[in-house]
Structure 1
């Protein structure tokens, strides 16, 4: 049976200001003894509220087919408005071998200004074991006027793990100027000759046994020089990326492509990166998913 916990069952975290929120949530899935997917942990802390929304058993004899893996689907339900300035939110994700986790959200996240100290912050830390897959595609993050938000995502993949990671950002709500956002993405892949490295201690440099797959940092906001110029967003208010990684891309990846508002770049490693710009969230999503190999609609 899965274990579920809330704020009352975890160590208390000091709150430095009554107007700020500190929240920690976690989801851990693994393959059970008879091959069925197992939700080993589901921990929520308002406003980061997780809900189990589906379990699909895999097909016998097809465990190497990503579409046949036993699958657990979890949705993120925003339990409060925000994040606001000073809020510090964290989500830990762990996917075991031979199982797939589909992680979605039910609505966009709206980063808002507030009276707390410093920017709002969301940290996502994920690891995927050999033969496992993480499909993480939350709804867009909307950066409201006056907001200052930080998003940090770190993913560690075992040598035969798979990843599909989508990030979408909307600059401002309808008819308002944008706030500021700094998005940082780090993805590392374990060396095939160093088994069991998933879960090892990390350092800021090049951790032993790991190969960097992607380092990406995106700074957007009204103070960024030339943000709406042709060298950056060109007037677009929606920007996003879609990272696909897995053993099938360990050799030569798909051909690089550039089209109106979208590009696909093979990475030096098992994957490729799709980047897109658009005037709205719907067009952005279509451009990202159309560049997948093969093209697909978001589930």
Structure 2
């Protein structure tokens, strides 16, 4: 839906256990620039796989986009994206908003592994990820953010991650980086001159080996937050994969 204040769009994903060890998609819908597509899971394990496809340029200034994903008890879902998400300036000076609302039921499993979010020059994006985990839920959620495309100055990216585990708040953190952000965002306490950062929220076992520019923090019962800063998206992904003991580093898909 479009209007005088940008595009409003919602995508909905609901994964349901089929009772035979697999997962089916009970709901898969999107509008505007949000086009979720069913795909075959790369491991052939019976889990559902959804690819988020950008049907049009977005988010632009003034847009409000929202993705809602529910993994019902016992179900397994992998969500990836076809390309990086590029935040662009719009006709209006207002920032764009992109909300992710993710619910993982009891003994369910969610892998959320999209391509990076890129804040193009003169853009402003506010990204809020809300995660709710039921008892025994498993999650492997990666977020990567890059300031500016190659050879251009950074846009602004304000992000927040909130996590509830079995009804209890275990994490609420935010960052504000890029052109127009409060002073210090590029200093040694935040990016330290780097242009990319990432975080990985996981219930998987993490590697004890230190990685330059990265750190791991326990945030809940069997839940760890890994963070990394680096010169670019590929270096951030490599650091997160090293900390999460992932043997192969998936290639970063360029913006398209």
What is the TM-score with the length of structure 1 in the denominator? 0.78
Equivalent residue number for residue 197 of structure 1: none
**Offset at residue 215 of structure 1 (A):** 1.0
> What is the aligned counterpart of 1:43 among 24, 29, 32?
29
Asked if the contact 1:168–1:240 (Cα under 8 Å) also holds between the matched residues in 2, the reply is: yes
- Higher relative contact order, structure no. (Cα contacts within 8 Å, ≥ 6 residues apart): 2
- How far does residue 260 in structure 1 lie from its aligned partner after superposition? 1.3
Q: For residues 169 and 57 of structure 1, do their structure 2 counterparts lie closer, same or farther at Cα, with a shift above 3 Å needed?
A: closer
CA distance, structure 2, for counterparts of residue 16 and residue 234 of structure 1: 39
Contact 1:257 1:265 survives alignment (8 Å): no
| CA contact 1:186–1:216 (8 Å) conserved in 2 | yes
- How high is the TM-score relative to the length of structure 2? 0.90
Which position in structure 2 is the counterpart of 1:236?
194
SS in structure 2 at match of 1:174: coil
Cα displacement string for residues 49-69 of structure 1 (whole angstroms, at most 9, x for unaligned residues): 1000115898xxxxxxxxx6x
- The equivalent of 2:114 in structure 1 is 138
Q: 1:219 aligns with which of 173, 176, 181?
A: 176
Question: For this pair of structures, how many residues does the alignment match?
Answer: 249
Which range is displaced more, 224-233 or 135-144?
Answer: 224-233
CA distance, structure 1, for counterparts of residue 103 and residue 8 of structure 2: 22
Does the 8 Å CA contact 2:218/2:224 hold for their aligned counterparts? yes
Determine which of 206, 209, 217 is the counterpart of 1:265: 217
Q: Tell me the residue number matched to 2:142.
A: 166
C-alpha separation between the residues in 2 aligned to 1:86 and 1:277?
A: 28
Based on CA coordinates, which of the two structures has the bigger radius of gyration? 1
Q: Is the 8 A contact 1:256 1:263 kept in 2?
A: no
Greater fraction strand:
2
Please tell me whether residue 21 in structure 1 is matched to residue 3 in structure 2. no
1:100 aligns with 2:76: yes
2:30 equivalent to 1:30: no
Matches within 5 A, 1:240-251: 240-245=198-203
Separation in 2, partners of 1:97, 1:235: 43
Query: Alpha-carbon deviations, 1:153-174, whole Å to 9, x = none?
Result: 1111111111111010000011
